[in-house]
Structure 1
């Protein structure tokens, strides 16, 4: 998938789609060597991992205090896009990211709006939980 556009939708200064390998792929495919540098990058890479059904990455980047034992993906879900609305630091090792993710399931359009909370431990960011609207 290295030559394909990144599922997270990030674009460069010329409004060209970022390549997966240069964007979220460097975190999803190389988690042990390349942790996401901040909460927004982690959130975007987690979105890409949902699109690619990479449960290994999602579980590895989920904080141990709230991590489920396993993940199931909705069969037939077609992810349509991600809009990051806000990324803010809330403390020395905490942050929040507000986003809208769109997908289609069983012919129905769905918008997932969430304010996600993240924590940094030992230099790595982890998803803790989120408030959905």
Structure 2
């Protein structure tokens, strides 16, 4: 049996990578790790995880997934701060999907010690 790599793009099995964050077994240690786990949650349509990791100030009431959306890859383009020593950080990424790509600069902040997604903007 072959174990597939995690959808986030790191060469680890899902269970040892983003799956640990999704189940609550381990919090995301950095803003980038949270970004990768949130991308994987979109791939797996895990709305509960996405809502739990959204900053309370900007969290929507619910997430509606497009059943036709097929995410095909994640590329991290850059990070600013967001380590274990920071309270805020940014991650710039390109998430590809069948027919296009989403380019976003996401902002993250810690809430009660845990990284959360605040919001993002879309550079050209």
Aligned to 1:7: 7
Q: Which residue of structure 2 aligns with residue 25 of structure 1?
A: 19
CA–CA distance in structure 1, aligned partners of residues 73 and 67 of structure 2: 18
Aligned 1:75-94 pairs, distance under 5 A: 75-89=67-81, 92-94=86-88
Gaps of 5+ in 2: none
The correspondence for 2:60, drawn from 68, 76, 80, is 68
Q: Give the distance between the partners of 1:9 and 1:35, measured in 2 at CA.
A: 18
Displacement of 1:123 in angstroms is: 1.4
Partner of 1:114: 104
Matches of 2:4 and 2:64 in 1, distance apart? 25
Aligned residue-pair number: 120
Structure of higher RCO (CA pairs closer than 8 Å, 6+ residues apart): 2
Secondary structure at the counterpart of residue 7 of structure 1? coil
Deviating beyond 6 angstroms after TM superposition, the runs of 4 or more aligned structure 1 residues are: none
**RMSD across aligned C-alpha pairs, in angstroms?**
1.7
Q: Distance in 1 between matches of 2:48 and 2:96?
A: 22
Return the alpha-carbon distance in structure 2 between the equivalents of residues 124 and 69 of structure 1.
20
Q: Secondary structure at the match of 1:49?
A: helix
Q: Deviations over 1:84-117 (max 9, x none)?
A: 011111794100000000001xxxx111000000
Q: Identify unmatched segments of 5+ residues in structure 1.
A: 11-16
